[in-house]
Amino acid sequence: MAPSIAKRDSPAEADRASRPSADPTRDRILDAALDLFSERSFDGATTREIAQRAGVTQPLLNYHYRSKDDLWRAAVDSLFVTLRQTMADRLEGLRGVDPLTSAKLRVREFITFSARNPQLHRIITQECKSDGPRMDYLVEHHVRPLYESTIELFEHLARDGAVPPIAPAHLYYILTGAGPTMFVLGPECERLTGLDPHSDEVITAHADAVCMLLFGEWP
């Protein structure tokens, strides 16, 4: 069905097609793909439009990536790499800090990232609404590790009474729902509330609000 052998004739094909990065052209393609896939969904985004936004021609996408599906996977991978790197950098400066403070900062960092990269949850909600090969890839490669480390964090916090007695699975969907939705629906939010979901003030206020609810800091 899906031969693992390269379908083109040049020898280095298998290496090039949809493997690593570090090429400015490939990066521009991935960024454009991420924007359009997340806004318009997999089917709604056309390869021609992605190419146009990246400033290249459409056949170049099939040169660098075997197929539209392959391009999608590469774009998703790069986004999650950025997420993991950002979170890791943040945690780096938190050695020795007490667990509760560390957890609060993790939540804030997650919300800030979701606000600056709404593509993350846009793509997740697009693909995970129905079972399919792309949801499978997304969950097994990227979402599950995130889920499990979050569950572990909540279990720790619950034992200390730092967080309400709510099953971790529910807390996970409350956090991943309450945190990013305002920014996922950025254009709607702007129209509806007049707030600018890109501004630091609004992002901070939202993180404050979620932390207040989650960690119960109101008399």
- Number of shown-chain residues binding a second copy (CB under 8 A): 58
Q: How far is the CB of 105 from a second copy (least distance, A)?
A: 19
Q: How far apart are CA 111 and CA 87, in angstroms?
A: 11
Render 64-81 in DSSP notation, one character per residue: HSSSHHHHHHHHHHHHHH
Q: List Cβ neighbours of 70 (8 Å cut-off, separation of 6 or more).
A: 17, 18
The pair of structure tokens assigned to 23 is: 């090429």
The binder of 94, among a second copy, DNA, none, by C-beta within 5 to 8 A per type, is none
156 binds a second copy (CB under 8 A): no
- Residues 52-71, one symbol each (x = binds DNA by CB under 7 A, - = not), give ----xxxxx-xxx-xxxx--
- Residues that bind DNA (rule: CB under 7 A) add up to a total of 25
Rounded distance, CA 190 to CA 59, Å?
37
What mask, x for binding a second copy by CB under 8 A, covers residues 24 to 43?
--------------xxxxxx
Restricted to residues 195-214, the positions that interact with a second copy (CB under 8 A) are 195, 205-206, 209-210, 212-214
Interface residue with DNA among 19, 46, 198, 216 (CB under 7 A) is: 46
Select from 95, 102, 112 the least CA-distant residue to 153: 102
For the stretch 58-67, contacts whose Cβ atoms lie closer than 8 Å and that sit 24 or more positions apart, written own/partner, are 60/25, 60/29, 61/29, 64/16, 64/17, 64/18, 64/25, 64/26, 64/29, 65/17, 65/18, 65/29, 66/7, 66/17, 66/18
Tell me the CA end-to-end span of the chain in Å, nearest whole number: 62
Does 131 bind a second copy (CB under 8 A)? Our answer is yes
- Nearest CA to 87 among 26, 35, 6, 149? 149
Residue 112, amino acid: T
Asked if 202 interacts with DNA (CB under 7 A), we say no
Residue 213 interaction partner, one of a second copy, DNA, none, beta carbon < 5-8 Å per kind: a second copy
Among 19, 27, 48, 141, binds DNA (CB under 7 A): 48
Q: Where do contacts with DNA occur on this chain (CB under 7 A)?
A: 7-8, 10-12, 16, 23, 25, 45-49, 56-60, 62-64, 66-69
Q: Where do contacts with a second copy occur on this chain (CB under 8 A)?
A: 38-44, 118, 122, 124-126, 128-131, 135, 139, 143-144, 147, 164-167, 169-182, 184-189, 191-193, 195, 205-206, 209-210, 212-214, 216, 218
